[in-house]
Amino acid sequence: MSAPRGLNLTRRPWWLLRGCRYSILIACIVAFEAGPPLFAQTRSEHLSHRRAFVTKAASITHESVAVDQSGPPPAEPLEASPIAQPALEAPASLSWFWQLAVENHPALNVASADVVAAKREALQASLRPNPQLGIFADEVGNDDSAGLIGVYLQRRIIRGGKLELAKQAKCLEAAVLTQTQRQQLQRIETDVKTEFYRLLVSQRRVELTSQLHNLQAEALKTAQLLYDAAETPKTDLLQTQVQSGRVELKLRQAKIAATAAWRRLATAVSFPDLPQCSVEGSLNEIVDPIGFEDTLETVLAASPEREEAVAAIDLSKAQLRRQVAQAIPDYQTQLTFGQDTATDDFFTGFQLQVPLMVSDRNQGNIAAARARVARAESQLARVELLIARRLTGQFENYESASAQVEMYDSNLIPKARESLEIASIGYRAGEVDFLQVATAQQSLLALTLEYLDALEILWNARQQILGLTLSDPLTN
């Protein structure tokens, strides 16, 4: 018994299209697929890591509130690799710590990776759906034949500019994340500066407390000599020893605080095990006082926090346009090539499917997108008020500490030093009792420590103001 006609493999290979029929099929497929390529080769970014993003910001003078708003293009994050221990200069400067933080801080890596991911998602959003190629078999066994056999090519036609709108939305999302990246950069800079000047104050506290300790040691020697010469009672010697112990305790506390300040600075530059050394800087009187009104205007204009809120408004509007476009139905097309094995005839077919937008017109998502636009606009006003409130608090600290530092530096501490010197000379001459000397010593010690506390508050507030009220990159 011979094989069925449609299944005779030697006589009629029905599963193949021969001769010019191949050319026709290929030409149709190519014509159907004509259009932009599915994958675009992205331009290689010359700025291969985030250091390029901060080059301009790192070169800005550290005492300027002006921040470049040009929005440099985000760069690729660094590939994961072991971080080598930096070579430490002694004494280390602020610029050295700043550069170390820029090159190694994980918060900036996280922000950079978010930007790059959003850019890649923008590329993906612009790609057309892939076509579908399949085979079909129908009426198999009819008239002892293989039936209708062929291939089909399906494709979804996106209408309403949805791909371009989706790409725009993702690009604007990348713009929002770029402002977040700028925020993290500003937070890191503020954090490093704050901890650096806090360490400078701690070093100064150790120096001044050491000077008081030396003065107290001299006073103790004098008290011992006077007591040995039977010129003063033992109570004066004991009181001097007690005062010496208090000053020595203050010196130890100052050294512990300096060590803690170093550790905080090392953590701010993402190297908590950095070996301790002295730092180089100045705590001289600030010659350029800051005014609230001018600073508020400058901060609002330069703040990446506000720029993020502005970019979020543009993003929400783009998402609204995208949701409106979703109401435009897409077409589903199908092109068919086949053979009727019963008659040995070839055929082609074409189908077009159009959704009927009867009940679902994406009205819920459109209304939600409009609400998000209103929310983003209100969020901008909220951010501006938040910046103004934070700036108000920092200015209160700054102005109060500035008045204290000026008073201590120009009036109180010089008079306290002079009082101690006069009392010490009189005590050695036997003209002044020890109580007056001890009182002068305690007054100078208390005023010195209060002065350093005010100086630390002053520099911290100043760095918060110059840092656009942005700090602490690890929790934001």
Written as one letter, the residue type at 274 is L
CA quadruple 168, 169, 175, 177: dihedral, nearest 10: -150
User: How far is it, in rounded angstroms, from Cα 86 to Cα 80?
Assistant: 17
Total count of residues recorded for the chain: 476
Q: How many CA atoms lie within 13 A of 161 on its CB side?
A: 9
Please list the residues that pair with 149 across neighbouring strands. 137, 339
- Which runs of E-coded beta strand occur in 304-405? 331-340, 345-353
pTM of the model: 0.74
| Dihedrals phi, psi of 188, to nearest 5 degrees | -65, -45
Tens of each residue's pLDDT in the chain, 476 residues: 333 333 333 344 443 334 334 334 444 444 444 444 433 333 334 334 344 444 444 443 333 333 333 333 344 443 434 445 565 555 688 999 999 999 999 999 999 999 999 999 999 999 999 999 999 888 787 777 778 899 999 999 999 999 999 999 999 999 999 999 999 999 999 999 999 999 999 998 999 889 888 888 887 888 888 888 887 788 888 888 888 898 899 999 999 999 999 999 999 999 999 999 889 888 875 657 888 999 999 999 999 999 999 999 999 999 999 999 999 999 999 999 998 887 888 989 999 999 998 899 999 999 999 999 999 999 999 999 999 999 999 999 999 999 999 999 899 999 999 998 898 888 778 788 777 887 888 888 889 889 989 989 999 999 999 898 898 888 87
Tokens 């108000």, residue? Answer: 392
Sequence-ordered list of residues with C-beta below 8 angstroms from that of 93, at least 6 positions apart, any chain: 279, 280, 281
User: Cis omega (within 30 of 0) on the bond before 233?
Assistant: no
Task: Describe the strand order of the beta sheet including 345-353 as a list of residue ranges.
Answer: 132-138, 148-157, 331-340, 345-353
Helix (H) or strand (E) holding 391: helix 363-407
Three-class SS state of 426: helix
Residue 275 DSSP symbol:
P
Q: Where does residue 359 rank: exposed (0-12), middle (13-18), buried (19+ CB within 10 A)?
A: exposed
Residue boundaries of the structural domains of the chain = 171-327+362-470
Per residue in 328-349, pLDDT (tens digit) is 999 999 999 998 887 888 989 9
Q: Is the dihedral of CA 61, 63, 64, 70 positive or negative?
A: positive
Record the tokens describing residue 304, joined without a space. 């990446």
Structure tokens at 453: 């506390």
Which has the closest alpha carbon to 172: 320, 374, 327? 320
Q: In 10 A of CB 348, how many CB atoms?
A: 12
Ramachandran sector of residue 444 (left: φ over 0; alpha: ψ -120 to 50; beta: rest): alpha
Residue 277: DSSP 8-state? -
Query: Would you say the C-alpha torsion 307, 313, 319, 325 has a positive or negative sign?
Result: negative
Rg (CA), the chain: 38
Q: So what's the pLDDT on residue 65?
A: 35
**Cβ atoms within 10 A of the Cβ of 408, count?**
20
Residue 260: φ, ψ to 5°: -65, -40
Q: How many CA atoms lie within 13 A of 51 on its CB side?
A: 10
Euclidean distance between CA atoms 160 and 140, whole angstroms: 41
Give me the pLDDT at residue 189, please.
94
Q: CA torsion, points 215, 221, 225, 231, in degrees to nearest 10?
A: 40
The residues with which 133 forms a beta bridge, in sequence order, are 153
Residues 363, 369, 375, 377: what is their CA dihedral angle, to the nearest 10 degrees? Answer: -120
Predicted pLDDT at 26: 41
Per-residue confidence (pLDDT) for residue 244, from 0 to 100: 87
Q: Does domain 171-327+362-470 have CATH number 1.20.1600.10?
A: yes
